[in-house]
Amino acid sequence: VNLSELGEFALIERIVARLPEYRNDVWVGVGDDVAVLALDGDTCQLATCDIQVEGVHFQRKYTTSHQLGRKVAAINLSDIAAKGGTPEHFLISLALPGELDVRWVDGLYDGLREEASQYGADVVGGNVARIQGPVVVDVFLLGRVRREELLLRSGARQGDRVLVTGSLGEAAAGLALLGQEGAVVAEELLQAYLTPTPRVREGRAIAKRGVATSMIDLSDGLSSDIGHICEQSGVGARLWADLLPISDATRDVAELVGQPAVRWALEGGEDYELCLTVPLGQEEDLVAAVKEETGTELTCVGEIVGREAGRRIVLPDRSEGPLRSRGWDHFAAGVEGRATDAP
Residue with smaller CB distance to a second copy, 35 or 73: 35
We find the least distance from the C-beta atom of residue 103 to a second copy, in angstroms, to be 8
Confirm if 90 and 116 have CB atoms less than 8 A apart: yes
What distance in Å separates the CA atoms of residue 196 and residue 273, rounded to the nearest whole number? 9
Give burial (CB, 10 Å; 0-12/13-18/19+) of 58: buried
We find the least distance from the C-beta atom of residue 55 to a second copy, in angstroms, to be 5
Q: Residues 89, 12, 229, 265: is their CA dihedral positive or negative?
A: positive
We find the least distance from the C-beta atom of residue 22 to a second copy, in angstroms, to be 5
Residue with smaller CB distance to a second copy, 99 or 292: 99
Q: Residues 203, 11, 168, 325: is their CA dihedral positive or negative?
A: negative
We find the least distance from the C-beta atom of residue 31 to a second copy, in angstroms, to be 8
What distance in Å separates the CA atoms of residue 94 and residue 73, rounded to the nearest whole number? 13
Residue 42's contacts (CB-CB under 8 Å, 6 or more residues apart) are 146, 147, 148
Residue 307's contacts (CB-CB under 8 Å, 6 or more residues apart) are 230, 234, 235, 236
Residue with smaller CB distance to a second copy, 107 or 279: 107
Residue with smaller CB distance to a second copy, 19 or 280: 19
We find the least distance from the C-beta atom of residue 9 to a second copy, in angstroms, to be 10
Residue with smaller CB distance to a second copy, 4 or 180: 4
